[in-house]
Each structure stands twice: as C-alpha cells, then as structure tokens.
Structure 1
Amino acid sequence: MKEKIILLVEDNPDDEALTLHALETNKIGNAVVVARNGVEALDYLFGTGSYAGRDPHDHPAVVLLDLKLPKIDGLEVLRRIRADERTSLQPVVILTSSNEEEDRLKGYALGANSYVRKPVDFDEFVRAAGQLGLYWLLINQSPQM
C-alpha cells in the first residue's frame, strides 16, 4: 500500500513551518508536499508544469488549502479541483486564518470537505493539526478515484 501524501498549499513560510511542526509533534509521519501558490497546487494535482510526469491519478490523502494565495487564490483552486472529474472527489480541507463568513460560505459552496480556521495560539494549532491528521489519514474513508 502506498504512503498517503498530504498536499499543503500554503504561501506563508511561518504557517508552513508551524503546520509541518504540528504534524510532526502529533507523530503524523506522512510525506507532505508543499505548494506555495495556487498554480503549484494545480500543477501537482494534474501532473503539469514543474510536476509534469507525475501520475495525476496518484491522489493525496488530503489537500490542506489556504485561501489567500498568490497567482491563483484558494477558492479558485478548489473550483478547478471540483470541476475536473479526475479530482472532483479529492478531500480538501480549507485551512486558513480567514474568519470571514463569506469565505466559509464560498468554500462550502465550492465543495470543501471542511473549513478550519488556523488558531492563533501555538498549542491550539498543534492540537488542531493533530486532529486533522488523525481524521483525514486514519479515520476517513475516501472513495477510490
């Protein structure tokens, strides 16, 4: 059985480091691929651009998607994921600092599986990341895509 990959889409280096540390602290040893903007995320998922040659049928277990991204924002990334039959069932968790109701509504309307606001407190964030990892990597049963 292949290792379940996590695709972390995050442009803030501090939030990236914090998320990776939180996963490690919770003993979630899955490989994490980091995309630092929306274009990189879509290239990874569809095996294009700098990820040309990567098998696009090898889906990550979960995409942790920030909303405020350069080049293509997170909501547009989510829209494109859901619009393509190869990735329409891909589990996507919006992981963002945005507390805007409009962002939540748009995220769910576009098919987000979950919307998690990044806690400001470090310990809370470590706990939240651990719960996300346990749920999406161990408990959740995703469909075969």
Structure 2
Amino acid sequence: MLIDPNPEDTQLFLDALNDEKIANHVHTVSDGTEALDFLHQRGNHTDAPRPNLILLDVDLPEIDGYDLLEELTDDSELAEIPVIVLTDSSDAEAVARSYELHTNAFVQKPVDPDEFIDVVRSLKNFWLEIVWLPSDADDDQL
C-alpha cells in the first residue's frame, strides 16, 4: 500500500514498479483518512485486502502520517504490517519520530527520477525478495 499525497510521486513510484516488472498489486491512497478507511475496511473500502507492506509519506493532509503511525501501532492487527516512511524530509527530528512510532525504515525520496527508480529497486529487492512479510496477508498485495 502506498500512502502519498503527491500524484506525481505516486505515478513515478508505480512506473518504477512496472519497470521492475513487480507483479504485486499496489493499492494507493492520498491522505490519512482514506488510508485508515482502507486499513479498517470501512466506507468505500469495505472489501479492501490487508496490505503486507505500507509505504508512507508522513506529510499527509487531514490525518498526518505520524498520527497514522500512532494508530497503526495501537492496533494489534495493523501493528504487524511493516511500514516504510518514504518522504521528502531529511530532518533528524522526523527520522527520530518515525522510529519512535515503530517505523521499520525511513527513506528520503530522491528528486531525480533515475535515483527514485534506484530507491524503488532497492526497496523491491529487500522488502519483496529477501524479507518475510506477515503470512496472513495475500502474497501479492502492497
């Protein structure tokens, strides 16, 4: 699952996954409220699958990413889903706060599209090929 308010970054991420021939289905939302609706299977997302990995930009409208991380941490079922903060910020306080809220990784989004593709490739190699993700999630859901 990709939670990112920037449509250009979302498209760049999806294009990079496509270039890498990643078969996983990626669900995208653009704000914290919709993310929580998706994760709790409510509203327009009653049939939403449980993602096995969340990529999160913490700079979200409505409910910000840190509040979303707190809610994920407080929910025993959702707390099992690994979260990678993928954001424009490189602020040391943002990094520390993300890890305090049990983020599994903090990655700064590169500005250059080629570097962005390299980051996506690295995430794919580690999180989709090496790491074992929660077994009760569908194998093809992000």
CA, structure 1 residues 60+108, in 2 after alignment: closer, same or farther (shift >3 Å)?
Answer: same
State the Cα RMSD in Å. Answer: 1.3
Q: Which runs of 5+ in 2 are unaligned?
A: 137-142
- Out of 106, 109, 112, the position equivalent to 2:97 is 106
Deviations 1:1-27 (A, max 9, x none): xxxxxx000111111111111111111
Identity %: 38
Tell me the equivalent position of 1:37.
Answer: 31
Q: Which runs of 5+ in 1 are unaligned?
A: 1-6
Is the Cα–Cα contact under 8 Å of residues 65 and 95 in structure 1 kept in the other structure?
A: yes
Tell me the equivalent position of 1:12.
Answer: 6
- Out of 118, 122, 126, the position equivalent to 2:117 is 126
**Secondary structure in 1 matching 2:55:** strand
- Is 2:79 the counterpart of 1:85? no
Is the Cα–Cα contact under 8 Å of residues 53 and 133 in structure 2 kept in the other structure?
A: no
Is the Cα–Cα contact under 8 Å of residues 61 and 137 in structure 1 kept in the other structure?
A: no
Residue 122 of structure 1, CA deviation:
1.1
Tell me the equivalent position of 2:129.
Answer: 138
- Aligned mates of 1:44, 1:12 — CA distance in 2: 18
- Is 2:14 the counterpart of 1:23? no
> Bigger relative contact order, structure 1 or 2, given CA contacts below 8 A and separation 6+?
2
- Aligned mates of 1:61, 1:127 — CA distance in 2: 22
Using the size of structure 1 for normalisation, the TM-score is 0.88
Residue 53 of structure 1, CA deviation:
4.2
Deviations 1:81-110 (A, max 9, x none): 111011111110000001111110000000
Tell me the equivalent position of 1:66.
Answer: 57
- Aligned mates of 1:65, 1:46 — CA distance in 2: 16
**Secondary structure in 2 matching 1:68:** coil
- Aligned mates of 2:46, 2:15 — CA distance in 1: 29
Aligned AA (1:141): W
- Aligned mates of 2:40, 2:7 — CA distance in 1: 24
Q: Which moved more, 1:114-123 or 1:132-141?
A: 132-141
